[in-house]
């Protein structure tokens, strides 16, 4: 049996998705001794776009250029939404701080203060988002100004079609597709984004790529490529291609798993450990015990074997493991449960009400509103409506009364609620 190590921390964060990342950053920036536990595979599903609020009401698919006005309308209509527990100042400070953190670790973002930009999705639609990776910003600018653009895909890359994107965006004049072979690879070879990204970190492959794109360039004022422009040297890869082609180059997210998510995961794990956070990567919390309802002992280990490898003692815990993908919640045959603390979960009264008959119902499905209910300090409630534990908090998509995917608010919700939860743990006065 492997010896079990015990670690002391002030705050333990369960989850390594965006909410967990944000909570770890805000915690360490306040000097809190922090431990973070989780399997970070969910990060690779991130497109890179940071949404604040894009759509409300979802059944009308109303899109918002001003996300803060959209949040005000949302809160009026849905007073139990997590955004209703946050002020504009808190949301703004949370986003400013987190975007500064991303920039500091080599993942700069661009935005128009207080305004959504419209960006291209992998399937060729336009979506409103608040902050855009620098590698994708030229696409947002081109979309706004409707510049002539060339969209490029590659033989062998599945799930990304330049023809589909340009056809879907046909009202955009001067948008043209091109399909070319990937440098040094035959047209019959299956391609994968990570493999392509590593290949393009070699200079001669970028030169060959530019040579293959140039005959298709014509009047294009920008070139859109799938998000494969390097992993660790993405800024240099893109800058070199722009120099070779003489026009801005921008990335478009691919279907998951995506390189922007992989870049975020890799940079975060390196940077957060350097800042002193004790990261238990690729591990799960298997069991939680309480100490006088004010402290916690977390048993950490391998989910598959159930072997406990570490014990983490913490004065406070933030639940930021997401819903079903991150295993923050589990769906049984008849009910949804929160497996670690036994917290009540807001959910439809009957299993049959989880989903609507129409899979594409514009209003979504009731299960997408399920989650943990909290007080104004983001402390989960027990069945009597009181905080279940004095120092237990929740942040991100595990929270009830929100449909982050349809409302296009996932990143803003994750970052802002993580910010508020950390500050509540420290007893910092609300803004």
pLDDT tens, position by position, 402-416: 999 999 999 999 999
- Collect all residues with Cβ–Cβ distance below 8 Å to 31 and sequence separation of at least 6: none
Kindly indicate the confidence band of residue 309, based on its pLDDT and cuts at 50, 70 and 90.
Answer: very high
Q: So what's the pLDDT on residue 257? A: 78
Reported as type and span, the H/E element at residue 138 is: helix 137-145
Cβ neighbour number for residue 292 with a 10 Å cutoff: 6
Check: CB of residue 370 under 8 Å from CB of residue 347: yes
CA atoms within 13 A on the CB side of 335: 9
Check: CB of residue 372 under 8 Å from CB of residue 396: no
Kindly indicate the confidence band of residue 199, based on its pLDDT and cuts at 50, 70 and 90.
Answer: very high
For 65-70, what is the mean pLDDT? 97
Does residue 253 have a pLDDT over 80? yes
Assigned fold of 5-48+81-103+262-426: FAD/NAD(P)-binding domain (3.50.50)
How far is the C-alpha of 187 from the C-alpha of 212, rounded, in Å? Answer: 13
CA dihedral of residues 74, 397, 372, 300 (deg, nearest 10): -160
- Could you read off the pLDDT of 315-343 as tens digits, one per residue? 999 999 999 988 899 999 999 999 999 99
Start-to-end C-alpha separation, the chain: 49
How far is the C-alpha of 348 from the C-alpha of 131, rounded, in Å? Answer: 34
Query: Domain spans of the chain?
Result: 5-48+81-103+262-426, 146-252
Q: So what's the pLDDT on residue 360? A: 85
- Collect all residues with Cβ–Cβ distance below 8 Å to 35 and sequence separation of at least 6: 7, 9, 11, 12, 13, 277, 278, 279, 280, 312, 314
Percent of the chain with pLDDT over 70: 97
Check: CB of residue 160 under 8 Å from CB of residue 185: no
pTM of the model: 0.94
Q: Indicate the average pLDDT of the chain.
A: 93
Kindly indicate the confidence band of residue 99, based on its pLDDT and cuts at 50, 70 and 90.
Answer: very high
Q: So what's the pLDDT on residue 39? A: 86
Comparing 29 with 255, the larger pLDDT belongs to 29
Does residue 16 have a pLDDT over 60? yes
How far is the C-alpha of 299 from the C-alpha of 336, rounded, in Å? Answer: 23
Name beta bridge partners: 110: 132
Q: So what's the pLDDT on residue 189? A: 79
Residue 188 burial (C-beta neighbours within 10 Å; 0-12, 13-18, 19+): exposed
Diameter over CA atoms, the chain:
71
Q: So what's the pLDDT on residue 2? A: 63
- Could you read off the pLDDT of 135-172 as tens digits, one per residue? 999 999 999 999 999 999 999 999 899 999 999 998 89
- Picking from 174, 175, 173, the residue whose alpha carbon sits closest to that of residue 164 is 175
CA dihedral of residues 363, 367, 372, 374 (deg, nearest 10): 20
Does residue 188 have a pLDDT over 70? no
Please report the sign of the dihedral spanned by the C-alpha atoms of residue 404, residue 405, residue 408, residue 411.
positive
How far is the C-alpha of 21 from the C-alpha of 26, rounded, in Å? Answer: 9
For 35-56, what is the mean pLDDT? 87
Q: So what's the pLDDT on residue 26? A: 98
Choices 1.25.40, 3.60.21, 3.40.50, 3.40.30: CATH for 146-252? 3.40.50
């Amino acid at each position: 049996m492997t010896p079990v190590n015990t670690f002391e921390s002030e705050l333990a964060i369960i989850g390594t998705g965006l909410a967990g990342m944000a909570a770890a950053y805000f915690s360490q920036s306040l000097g809190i001794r922090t431990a973070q536990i989780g399997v970070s595979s969910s990060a690779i599903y991130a497109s890179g776009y940071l949404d604040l609020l894009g759509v409300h009401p979802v059944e009308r698919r109303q899109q918002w250029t001003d996300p803060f006005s959209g949040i005000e309308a949302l809160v009026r209509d849905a007073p139990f939404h997590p955004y209703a527990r946050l002020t504009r100042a808190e949301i703004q400070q949370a986003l400013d701080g987190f975007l500064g953190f991303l920039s500091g670790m080599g993942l700069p973002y661009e935005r128009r203060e207080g305004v959504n930009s419209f960006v291209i999705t992998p399937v060729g639609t336009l979506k409103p988002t608040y902050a855009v990776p620098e590698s994708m910003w030229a696409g947002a600018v081109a979309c706004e100004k409707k510049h002539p653009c060339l969209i490029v895909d590659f033989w062998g890359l599945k799930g990304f079609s330049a023809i589909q994107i340009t056809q879907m965006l046909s009202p955009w004049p001067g948008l043209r597709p091109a399909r070319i072979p990937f440098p040094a690879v035959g047209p019959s070879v299956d391609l994968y984004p990570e493999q392509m990204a590593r290949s393009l970190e070699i200079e001669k492959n970028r030169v060959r790529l530019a040579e293959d794109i140039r005959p298709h360039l014509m009047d294009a004022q920008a070139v859109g490529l799938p998000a494969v422009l390097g992993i660790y040297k993405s800024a240099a890869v893109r800058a070199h291609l722009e120099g070779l082609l003489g026009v801005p180059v921008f990335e478009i997210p691919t279907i998951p798993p995506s390189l922007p998510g992989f870049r975020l995961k890799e940079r975060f794990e390196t940077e957060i450990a350097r800042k002193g956070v004790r990261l238990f990567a690729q591990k799960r919390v298997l069991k939680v015990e309480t100490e006088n309802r004010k402290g916690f002992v977390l048993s950490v280990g391998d989910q598959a074997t159930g072997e406990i490898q570490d014990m983490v003692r913490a004065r406070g815990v933030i639940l930021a493991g997401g819903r079903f993908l991150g295993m923050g919640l589990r769906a049984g045959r008849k009910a949804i449960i929160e497996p670690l603390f036994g917290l009540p979960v807001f959910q439809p009264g009957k299993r049959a009400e989880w989903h609507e008959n129409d899979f594409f119902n514009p209003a979504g499905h009731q299960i997408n509103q399920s989650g943990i209910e909290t007080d104004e300090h983001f402390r989960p409630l027990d069945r009597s409506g009181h905080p279940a534990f004095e120092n237990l908090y929740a942040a991100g998509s595990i929270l009830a009364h929100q449909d982050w995917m349809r409302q296009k608010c996932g990143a803003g919700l994750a970052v802002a609620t993580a910010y508020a939860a950390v500050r509540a743990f420290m007893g910092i006065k609300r803004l």
